[in-house]
Amino acid sequence: MMPSGIMGPMLRQRDRILLVGMMGSGKTAVGRELARRTGWPFLDNDALVLELTGRAPAAIDAEDGEDVLHDAEIAAFRAAIVREGSAVIAVAGAVVDAPDARAALVDAGHVVWLRARPDTLLARIGSGAGRRADALDIEWLRARSAERAPVYADVADQVIDVDTTDVGDAVEQIVEGLPSAG
């Protein structure tokens, strides 16, 4: 096991680990722990949206609609991938839905799909506080998961099934799956 905060020569300095997956898949929890483990900054899309716009994603969605929110999420993603140095980045679903942003995602670093079944997602979403209204609709989660699965599979360098995997195990699998520096 690699010591905490040390990645050694495994990745070049400008490489990034980008986490994709449905809401509730654990992008934030895994991202924070992965950042702690690597010593890299964690860039969460929701936090970047707030930083760039001065408004929380839920407020943008409620006040201006989903299209404006998706534009803000894509702008936040683009801001994250042009920052200097390595980073762990949690990526919003809007990025994989937009072909041009998806192409940038593939080129931005090591993409990890945190894959979860819809019932797992629903259980993790809990009360849905701070999430879109659809987040508590199992049929919406099933449909959206099925729609995005081929896209996530297409962009992912690595897939971690998180239904029965805890955060620490997911991080370990990601670290073990990283390409060696060449």
Which domains are seen in the chain, by residue range? 11-177 (3.40.50.300)
pLDDT, tens digit, 9 for 90 and up, residues 40-75: 999 999 999 999 999 999 889 889 998 999 999 999
Task: Tell me the C-alpha distance between 127 and 123, whole Å.
Answer: 9
| pLDDT attached to residue 181 | 52
Residue with tokens 């993790």: 124
- Check residue 122 and give its pLDDT: 83
d(C-alpha 130, C-alpha 37), whole Å: 27
Q: How many CA atoms lie within 13 A of 130 on its CB side?
A: 9
- Dist CA 94 CA 142 (whole Å): 17
Helix (H, G, I), strand (E, B) or coil at 18: strand
User: What is the rounded distance in angstroms from the CA atom of residue 40 to the CA atom of residue 166?
Assistant: 21
Q: For position 134, what pLDDT does the model report?
A: 64
Q: Where are the beta strands (DSSP E) in the chain?
A: 16-20, 42-44, 87-90, 110-115, 158-161
Nearest residue to 157 via CA among 112, 107, 91, 102: 112
What residues in the chain have per-residue pLDDT under 50?
1-14, 127, 182
How far is 39 from 4, CA to CA, in rounded Å?
8
Q: What is the pLDDT of residue 12?
A: 39
Instruction: Tell me which amino acid residue 29 is.
Output: A
Bridge pairing between strands 110-115 and 158-161: parallel
Give dist(CA 108, CA 100) in Å, integer: 13
